[in-house]
Structures are given as C-alpha cells and as structure tokens.
Amino acid sequence: MFITISIFVLLLLALNCLNAQKRSKDDVELTPILGVAFSNYYGEDRLENQNLSSTQFGVDLDFFFNDRWSLRSGLLFQTMGSKVTRNYTEKLHYVTFPVNANWHFGSTRRWNLNFGPNFSFLTAAEGNGVDLKDEANGFQFGLAYGIGYKIEINEKFSLLIDYQGITGLTEVPKDNYYTIKNTYGSFNFGGVFKL
C-alpha cells in the first residue's frame, strides 16, 4: 500500500510541469472513471473484519459555476461490504449518485477537492453467494470526499487521478440489533472530456 501511494505522489509531482485548462461558468466536464476500491464495516466495537477489495466504475459530471467551483455528480457502480471472517464475505452492490461541491485550486486549477452527500441504492447483496438483499437497507446516505489532479493532454481532454472516500451514515442491516455502516475508499483513473 505504501509503495502504491508513493508512486501516486511521485507521478503527481513529475507531471506538475504540465499545464491544465481553466474552466469558466457553464462549462461541463464528463469523466468516465475506473478504480480500485477498498471497503469495510464500522460501528460495532467488537468488529474485527478485514477490508474487501473491488473495482469501481462509472461517470462523473462537473458543472462549473466559475473557474474555482463546480458541482460534481454522476453515476457510480460500487461494491461495498467486508470480509467478516476468514471464510465469510459480504458484498453489497450499489448504484451511487454523488452531489458534491468541487473546489478547483492551484494556480492553474489542476487540483480539486470535493465533498458533499451521496445517495446509494442497493442493487444486490450477498454473503458467500447467498442472497442477503432482503436483510439489508435498500438505501444508503453517505458523506463523500475526495482529492484529485488533472493532467492536460489538450484543451478538450485531460487525464484525472484521484482518491474518493465515502463514510456511510445509515445502517447496513434493516434490523436494529447492532450498528454496522459502510466505509469506502477508491483510487481512480479517468479521462476528462470538456463538452
């Protein structure tokens, strides 16, 4: 994990000399993304779960208010859950709609920092292949946050490298016998298209 983060930071620093485009009011960016994600449960003191790894894919849309602020939304397909024991894994598949404020900073606005609510809808849930959808809440409200960096290729296209996290604020199970919520993080790569 440390090596992956180090390579990510070095790549960002090495590419710092490239120029990124500034956006203005009413500009829109479409960004298909693909990422490596890690999730787990939190809430119960006695949880000794391990992270569940998965892939994330989807599309982000940025609607610009000016060169510093945009509204980031989109449609993401995410797998959350946890390795509950050595031999038992729960996977919860969601379609997620973020609604985040996105602040573009730096002298050329290469960096962005986003935060806000997200709304996840359960499409499937399983524990070692057994259907658990009826036992899980069909909706998850969460707090999303992230940071990213754009590498300009030309005026209409850039590459995006970012990290996105989610802290679930609603319970995973429908019953109230115990408190379990999702936590989620992903390292993503995407192509940014100015529309």
pLDDT score, position 66 = 93
Confidence of residue 86 (pLDDT cuts 50, 70, 90): confident
Q: Look over the chain and give the mean of its residue pLDDT values, rounded to a whole number.
A: 88
Give the pTM: 0.83
pLDDT score, position 69 = 95
Confidence of residue 13 (pLDDT cuts 50, 70, 90): very low
pLDDT score, position 26 = 80
Closest CA to 122 of 175, 80, 84, 169: 80
CA 77, 81, 83, 89 dihedral sign is negative
Confidence of residue 25 (pLDDT cuts 50, 70, 90): confident
Instruction: Identify the domain containing residue 97 by its residue range.
Output: 2-194
Q: Report, as an integer, the average pLDDT of 57-64.
A: 96
Q: What does the alpha-carbon distance between residue 26 and residue 1 come to, in Å, rounded to a whole number?
A: 39
Work out how many domains the chain is built from and give that number: 1
Confidence of residue 22 (pLDDT cuts 50, 70, 90): low
Q: pLDDT of 116-128, one tens digit each?
A: 999 999 999 999 9
Q: What does the alpha-carbon distance between residue 131 and residue 20 come to, in Å, rounded to a whole number?
A: 46
pLDDT greater at residue 22 or residue 170: 170
Could you tell me the CATH number of the domain that includes residue 123? 2.40.160.20
Confidence of residue 45 (pLDDT cuts 50, 70, 90): low
